[in-house]
Chain A
Amino acid sequence: KQEVTQIPAALSVPEGENLVLNCSFTDSAIYNLQWFRQDPGKGLTSLLLIQSSQREQTSGRLNASLDKSSGRSTLYIAASQPGDSATYLCAVLRGTASKLTFGTGTRLQVTL
């Protein structure tokens, strides 16, 4: 059974810092890995999708990497801003496609 773990569960950083969020998964038979953002009491917004054949994806200040063989992904956020404060979730698309397995998220707070 696929399990997805995100460490740390919570993180507080001052504005302007670069930071890394970690995601690990137990079964490397995935189609892709996705990073989402969730604001309090809201739905999820897709940030980046990395196909299993890719090593990384970039969007603005965000960069996500994937090492399928070791079961790890990282989300790098450059020059963090207070507006980046949210919960970040990673999810892997399983071998039986369409079904995502989610991690429990990292709650990020960026302070002034």
Chain B
Amino acid sequence: DVKVTQSSRYLVKRTGEKVFLECVQDMDHENMFWYRQDPGLGLRLIYFSYDVKMKEKGDIPEGYSVSREKKERFSLILESASTNQTSMYLCASTKRGKASTDTQYFGPGTRLTVL
């Protein structure tokens, strides 16, 4: 079974802090994704990566950056956390690369609260 893990289930940070959210998948998947999920807005794509050191902006990249130094690990970085970044963050992966039509496998999510 594909396993996608996220470093924290719950995280509380203060405004202005730099925040790192980590995601690891164990099935040698090419693509990895970061989403945020908010009530009434659904899941929205922040960034995705189709290979090591390769990234592409999603629909709402402002205020976020990402890093993919190893194939199995994809990090989401909030350079200076703000209260409007309080949300549930979900990581996902697919087996094949950039133009993949495969199903996405999701991690359990990180509930981030910025005070």
Contacts and interface: CB of A to CB of B under 8 A. Distances in A.
Nearest to A9: B40
Interface stretch (B14-22, B76-84, B92-100): B92-100
A58 interface: no
Contacts of A36: 106
A42 B48 contact: no
B101 A100 contact: no
B90 A44 contact: yes
B42 A98 contact: no
**Interface size of B as a range:** 20 to 34
Contacts of B50: 98
Interface string B39-79: 01111110010100000001000000000000000000000
Given A46-B104, A97-B101, 20 more contacts: A4-B42, A32-B101, A34-B103, A34-B104, A41-B111, A42-B108, A43-B4, A43-B106, A44-B106, A46-B103, A46-B105, A89-B43, A91-B43, A97-B99, A98-B31, A98-B48, A99-B48, A99-B58, A102-B42, A104-B40
Interface of B: 4, 31, 40-45, 48, 50, 58, 90, 92, 94, 98-101, 103-109, 111
